[in-house]
Amino acid sequence: MAKTPRPRRTAAPRKGAARTATGKQASPDARAKAEHQSLEGLIERTREGHRKAGREPEAPQGLVSSGARAVRRMDPRLVDQAIRDRPTLTEDEKLLQAPSDTAAAFTTSDPWRVMRIMSEFVEGFDALAEVQKGVTIFGSARTGPDDPQYEAARETARLLAAQGFSIITGAGPGIMEAANRGAKDGGGHSVGCNIELPFEQGANPYVDTLVNFRYFFVRKTMFIKYSNAFIIFPGGFGTLDELFEALTLIQTGKIFQFPVILFGRHYWAGLLRWIRSRVAGEGKISPGDLDLVLLTDDPAEAAQAVIDAHAAQAAQRAPAER
């Protein structure tokens, strides 16, 4: 009788050979390549969102529109990412660079950059001071007008705008455009908080108040400060960043009666299963923390959750204001 062959053992990675999430061996060159591909993917997703909406994502000959004038930007695809010697392209990158060894560089960089950061906060506060009831809607830039999620975001924003809420987004295409468009449909105020990137992102045409930011952390402060809720549609790392930022602030008692609404049960199901089974299961969060997240596929449900929470916020503030 023939013996059943034993299953072949997979060779274990050598000790100290770190692997990426897809199993590739980590190295500085591999990381540089991944960073380059990641930026390329972001550029393409953003351009795709504009194309799906019927807009040309970039002007000819490398020129991009910036208000009434044209600005020539460096194309990051021309830079050799493998050696990581590209010039600084954004203010965020300048801020996050390691300090220089020379004292002279210290006196001309970070301490003085604080003034620019401060001015950006002031500009943001000034531009958005009249937003009393705001809702920020996040989601993918590549979602086209023919996508059901685009229509859902537009309808959700319309319902909220009709109730007097300002709709705040990152000003880009896709879900952001849908939400700003819905605000216009509902006769409401449409706000876009744009961020400086190594390529021209471009604001969608449905924004009433556009505020441009150099620093992500300043823009994130505006999203939280002027919002009564976050509605999170399917998206990528940026969307996840805002999701967990809000949950952390709620968990630590920094904000209250602040709904975090995940729109799209099927899209978010895997993440929530992992959080429930692994993160909560191992005691990294409390079981009740899962109730901080609302899940829906219905624009009316999402809008009503925001309306109810705003009423609860107002009732909780009332005694303190007497």
pLDDT attached to residue 180: 98
Residue 18, phi then psi, degrees to nearest 5: -65, 150
pLDDT attached to residue 64: 35
Domain hosting 246: range is 133-321
Instruction: Tell the residue number behind the tokens 């108040």, with chain if given.
Output: 209
* Residues 262 and 294: beta-carbon distance below 8 Å: yes
Average pLDDT over residues 147-176: 97
Structure tokens at 5: 């062959």
Q: Give the full edge-to-edge strand order of the sheet including 166-169.
A: 209-213, 190-195, 166-169, 134-138, 229-232, 260-263, 293-296
- Which H or E element spans position 205? none
Average pLDDT over residues 123-150: 96
Instruction: Indicate whether 8 belongs to any domain.
Output: no
| Closest to 167 measured CA to CA, from 136, 211, 203 | 136
pLDDT attached to residue 94: 67
Instruction: Indicate whether 24 belongs to any domain.
Output: no
Instruction: Indicate whether 222 belongs to any domain.
Output: yes
Q: pLDDT band for position 80 (50/70/90)?
A: very low
Q: What is the CATH number of the domain that holds 279?
A: 3.40.50.450
Q: pLDDT band for position 73 (50/70/90)?
A: very low
* Residues 211 and 191: beta-carbon distance below 8 Å: yes
Average pLDDT over residues 203-212: 95
Residue 100, phi then psi, degrees to nearest 5: -75, 160
- Asked if residue 178 has pLDDT above 90, the reply is yes
Instruction: Indicate whether 60 belongs to any domain.
Output: no
- Asked if residue 79 has pLDDT above 50, the reply is no
Return the exposure string of 10-24: e unless at least 16 CB atoms fall within 10 Å of the residue's CB, then b: eeeeeeeeeeeeeee
Instruction: Indicate whether 292 belongs to any domain.
Output: yes
SS3 at position 260:
strand
Count CA within 13 A, CB hemisphere, residue 221.
14
15-19, 220-224, 310-314: the lowest-pLDDT one: 15-19
Q: Specify the number of domains making up the chain.
A: 1
pLDDT attached to residue 26: 67
Distance CA 310, CA 290 (A): 21
- Asked if residue 12 has pLDDT above 70, the reply is no
Instruction: Indicate whether 104 belongs to any domain.
Output: no
192-291-255-209 Cα dihedral, nearest 10 degrees: 10
Instruction: Indicate whether 281 belongs to any domain.
Output: yes
pLDDT in tens, 18-42: 776 677 776 777 767 776 777 787 7
* Residue with the larger pLDDT of the pair 71 and 29: 29
Pairing of strands 293-296, 229-232: unpaired
Instruction: Indicate whether 279 belongs to any domain.
Output: yes
Q: pLDDT band for position 2 (50/70/90)?
A: low
How does DSSP assign 118-168, residue by residue?
HHHHHHHHHHHTT-SSEEEEE--TT--TTSHHHHHHHHHHHHHHHTT-EEE
61-75, 201-215, 257-271, 279-293: the lowest-pLDDT one: 61-75
Please report which residue ranges of 56-109 form alpha helices under DSSP H. 91-96, 103-107
